[in-house]
Amino acid sequence: MIPLYSYRDNSCDPRKCTIKKLERAGLVKIVRKITQIPRNTLLLDPTAEQAVSPADRAVRSITALDCSWEVLDTGAVRSWRIRRALPFLVAANPVNFGRPFRLTSAEAIAATLVILGERTEAEEVMARFSWGARFFELNEEPLTLYAAAKDSAEVVAIQQTYIGEPGDDSPNGS
């Protein structure tokens, strides 16, 4: 089991917050200051230049940023040694169902776990949500391909098959 953390700034409704639900289940430890995030963690950051990939399997923990991006001190976050973005995936959560790149923090953590080869732990995370299994159904193919990639560059190349090449206006990239 990979230890899971989340930096949470209380900007969302705690009754709807997926991270709070995971904390109540004992699956995630919430930190309230950026300085409390473990320095050796894989930090999930959508502004990171590298995609998470199986090459990151040796990480000691995963931390999601569950906060308002408008107020996040991005300078402090950019100092992390292992910052990774997620590749193309589709949300299964009720608020953003079917929308690409609009994952909850729980979905982001679960996707990262699958890519790192920890499918059982990912399923345990998503089992807390009535729509959790649907996340894996919607993303089974890309998650399988990402998990088989060798590194971030290969993950990004696979992602292009879903979002098309830059400058390609066709919806399916062909």
Give residue limits of the domains in the chain: 4-163
Which of the 8 DSSP states describes residue 88? Answer: S
The residue ranking higher by pLDDT, 68 or 137, is 137
Helix (H, G, I), strand (E, B) or coil at 69: coil
Contact 68, 7 (CB under 8 A): no
Distance separating the N- and C-terminal Cα atoms of the chain: 39
pLDDT of residue 16: 74
Residue pLDDT, tens place only, 57-94: 999 999 998 865 555 555 666 677 799 999 999 999 99
pLDDT of residue 26: 97
pTM of the model: 0.88
Query: Once rounded to an integer, what is the mean pLDDT over residues 155-172?
Result: 72
pLDDT of residue 77: 64
Binning pLDDT at 50, 70 and 90, where does residue 166 land? Answer: low
Distance of CA 101 to the CA centre of its chain: 10
Residue pLDDT, tens place only, 23-66: 999 999 999 888 898 989 999 988 889 999 999 999 999 999 88
